């Protein structure tokens, strides 16, 4: 997958992403969780993000900006970009994405946050041309993991999530769903 290959090229690592999260969250709107592009660029400069990495993140910012107002949901963006900052296996990438999402460090995630995590990583994968999960697959995966619960302790479910057939399709690039084709 191209997203995995990019993590080997980028210099941004998990500690950098945690620092970027802190800087971004300090500049987000309390109500919307949004961060303006200019504030995002300042945050990248403050932690000295490599110029090429900053360009890639800036382009991802554009893709995440669904309204064209130069403002995105900071946490969802960082979670989506998190696989780029982790060298290693899928379980390490997924664990790190959950940890970034878990701003209160409870170890738990609810359905809407779980779906936001999947959609955000999906969006980043799509940027690099990788097959993605459809909306129905994301809903099905959430149904299968949460069953009748409102939330779950994500550390206990990482292996279960990764072994799910939808996620296996995503990881191996075997899915046929791509953004922009009407299949998502």
Question: 7-22: per-residue pLDDT in tens?
Answer: 989 999 999 999 999 9
Question: 119-145: per-residue pLDDT in tens?
Answer: 999 999 999 989 899 999 999 999 999
pLDDT band at 28 (very low <50, low <70, confident <90, very high): confident
**CB-CB contact of 32 with 47 (8 Å):** no
- Number of other CB atoms surrounding residue 71 within 10 Å: 21
- Please report which helix (H) or strand (E) contains residue 109, including its range: strand 108-110
Largest CA-CA distance found in the chain, in angstroms, rounded: 45
Overall average pLDDT of the 58-85 stretch: 96
3-state secondary structure of 24: helix
Q: Is the pTM of this model over 0.85?
A: yes
């Amino acid at each position: 997958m191209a997203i995995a290959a990019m993590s080997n090229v980028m210099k941004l690592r998990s500690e950098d992403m945690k620092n970027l999260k802190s800087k971004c969250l300090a500049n987000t709107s309390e109500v919307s969780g949004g961060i303006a592009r200019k504030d995002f660029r300042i945050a990248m400069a403050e932690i000295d993000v490599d110029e090429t990495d900053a360009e890639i993140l800036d382009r991802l910012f554009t893709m995440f900006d669904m309204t064209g107002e130069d403002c995105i949901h900071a946490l969802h963006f960082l979670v989506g970009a998190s696989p780029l900052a982790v060298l290693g296996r899928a379980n390490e990438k997924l664990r790190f994405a959950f940890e970034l999402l878990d701003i209160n460090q409870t170890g738990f995630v609810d359905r809407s946050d779980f779906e936001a995590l999947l959609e955000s990583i999906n969006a980043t994968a799509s940027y690099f041309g990788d097959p993605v999960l459809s909306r129905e697959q994301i809903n099905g995966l959430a149904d299968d993991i949460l069953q009748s619960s409102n939330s779950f302790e994500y550390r206990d479910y990482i292996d279960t999530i990764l072994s799910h057939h939808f996620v296996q399709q995503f990881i191996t690039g075997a899915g046929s769903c791509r953004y922009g084709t009407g299949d998502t």
